[in-house]
Structure 1
Amino acid sequence: MSDGQDATVTRTGARHRQGAPRSGSTSRAGRNLPAAIATGVTLGAAVALSVFTDRRFFVGVICVALVLAVWEMRQAFAEQALRVPLVPVAIGAVCMTVGAYASGPEALVLATTLTCVAVLVWRVADGAAGSGRDVGAGVLVTLYPCFLGGFAALMAAEPQGQWRILVFILLVVLSDIGGYAVGVLVGRHPMAPALSPKKSWEGMAGSVLTSALGGAILIPLLFDGGQWWQGALLGAVVAPVATIGDLVESSIKRHLGVKDMSNILPGHGGIMDRLDSLALAAPFVWAVLRAVAPV
């Protein structure tokens, strides 16, 4: 997840400029902590309520989040004159999510394929000039985050789906908290200074430790037959995968010349600044949990 990376904005009209003043109290990692905590608690409560009342509500939450993420990425890509076809990608995101929940992995793959075809047809029908770049951008948004987000719907649809989602989200959150805390306290060696100057190898170690510890506790607690070492291994894998997801989004933002995808989440930036780590981690958690707790 985003730690407020200092993206270099090269275009005059960029929406989120380097060095723009931030309101409120900010931490060494560049976050407005009170706003970030309040937003995080609110989002967590909404997700928990939807998961533990009716998982179909959670599917609706995923759909809303992905459609907002598509809109954000379309706006960001427009900074470099790239036109992501909004309608087919947004509709495809909903179809991927609902299809995955209702009919499984095959439906997710089919909906993703059809969305890519729709992006091509929609954009080419609008004119051939620049269509190759726009189609490429549209397919990228279709896959990241929409296709990857569909794996959360797959987890929700399976037996003990609420616990699968809980493990998935908590491990990523623990990775973020551990990396943030250790990085702020003792971070000295930058991990990827060109993409995220605030991230350190010490913070990465903190992410792995907290996520592995959380997995070692959660897996035997929530799943019959689950072993602590399976949870520890899952957590140890989730942490670097989640960090890579964060760096992928940081790379996209840096190339587009934006700091945050939007500012709709106080203290966090945009929806994509929260989904980046979750999206990439979702397929890994889905696959490992199917092995730990077979469907």
Structure 2
Amino acid sequence: MPRTSAEREVQSSDLAVRTQTGFIYVALAIILTLASGPSMVILLCVLAGISSGELFYMLRSDAKMPNAVFGIVAAVLYPVVVWLWGMEGAMALTLVFLFALLCWYVFSLEVRVSDVGISLFGALYCGMMLSSFIPVRYALGGFWGGLLVVLIFAGVWLNDAMAYLVGSRFGRHKMAPKISPKKSWEGFAAGLFASVVVWCFMTLVPGVTMGIPKAILFGILCGLAGVLGDLAESRIKRNTGVKDSGNIMPGHGGLLDRNDSMFAVAVVSAVLLLGTGCLG
């Protein structure tokens, strides 16, 4: 059914707000990532802390009782310990966090095992997964390491943007109607193409030893990881009955809404680039 003029005006206004908010977020992320390793760590700490807080808020709407204080603190600490001590630090933090949750469970009789589980999940999901960008940046170091991470960001952003633009304009075939009714296969294909294009540009970064065929494969895999992350958060929102994880980003919702794809892509890109010897 054709849209009315009022509906087109509302859609245009929503797109303008979404674009302005997205521009500010993208600009800050690029500046902090390129500036230095420590400034990128600060960026990741902020994203992890706010996103985990939004996640715990949504879970409370579903009659869950996560330990938000423990979870947010752990999520914020993950980028710091990975920066200082690598994956050994992340494992140590996970063990300390787990023992803290066990103490909370033992001495708080109203706490359920499921509450312990979602508290741990929130910190790992929003904190440890996001920290995977740190070893990628430091594998190259300096400006080029920061640029590589920015390009990974760009792959996620353009995937989301193209999926939204093409899906809203040409989307006819629903991809996951029971989880995210607005997503279409047309938008999915456009987003995947954008991800591949960005990954092909990564082959031009000094220190990256990755040919075009491998870049195409990695772009597809990271594009799929981004869609999985997006659908995972959509599933959480549908289960909890929450439309947006927050309202910190007008036109987008919360930071978790904006970065749900980023968590999975952080891990997959780190495994692909570091595990196959593409950086050095």
For residue 221 of structure 1, report the CA deviation from its aligned partner: 4.0
Between the two proteins, the alignment pairs up a number of residues equal to 269
For residue 143 of structure 1, report the CA deviation from its aligned partner: 2.0
> Is 1:192–2:176 an aligned residue pair?
yes
Sequence identity (%): 28
* Aligned match of 2:240: 256
Unaligned runs of 5+ in 2: 1-6
Greater fraction of residues in helix: 2
* Aligned match of 1:134: 115
Aligned structure 1 segments of 4 or more residues deviating by more than 4 angstroms: none
> Is 1:275–2:259 an aligned residue pair?
yes
Distance 1:92 1:121 in 2: 15
What SS class does the counterpart of residue 245 from structure 2 fall into? Answer: coil
Counterpart among 121, 124, 127 of residue 146 in structure 1: 127
Counterpart among 97, 103, 107 of residue 115 in structure 1: 97
* Aligned match of 1:104: 86
Structure-1-length-normalised TM-score: 0.85
> Is 1:209–2:193 an aligned residue pair?
yes
| Structure 1 segment 36-51 matched on structure 2, within 5 A | 36-51=18-33
What SS class does the counterpart of residue 183 from structure 2 fall into? Answer: strand
* AA partner of residue 68 (structure 2): L
For residue 239 of structure 1, report the CA deviation from its aligned partner: 1.1
Distance 2:35 2:242 in 1: 38
For residue 120 of structure 1, report the CA deviation from its aligned partner: 2.8
* AA partner of residue 110 (structure 2): A
Distance 1:258 1:124 in 2: 31
For residue 77 of structure 1, report the CA deviation from its aligned partner: 1.4
Distance 2:38 2:60 in 1: 33
Distance 1:154 1:289 in 2: 10
What SS class does the counterpart of residue 199 from structure 1 fall into? Answer: strand
For residue 123 of structure 1, report the CA deviation from its aligned partner: 4.2
Distance 1:120 1:268 in 2: 36
For residue 155 of structure 1, report the CA deviation from its aligned partner: 2.3
* Aligned match of 2:63: 81
Please report the RMSD computed on the Cα atoms of aligned residues, expressed in angstroms.
2.0
| Structure 1 segment 13-24 matched on structure 2, within 5 A | none
* Aligned match of 2:11: 26
What SS class does the counterpart of residue 220 from structure 1 fall into? Answer: coil
Structure-2-length-normalised TM-score: 0.89
Distance 2:148 2:97 in 1: 27
Unaligned runs of 5+ in 1: 1-21
Counterpart among 34, 49, 56 of residue 67 in structure 1: 49
Distance 1:221 1:133 in 2: 45
* Aligned match of 1:7: none
Counterpart among 138, 156, 167 of residue 151 in structure 2: 167
1:226-248 CA-to-partner distances (Å, cap 9, x unmatched) read 31222221111111110110000
* Aligned match of 1:233: 217
* AA partner of residue 294 (structure 1): L
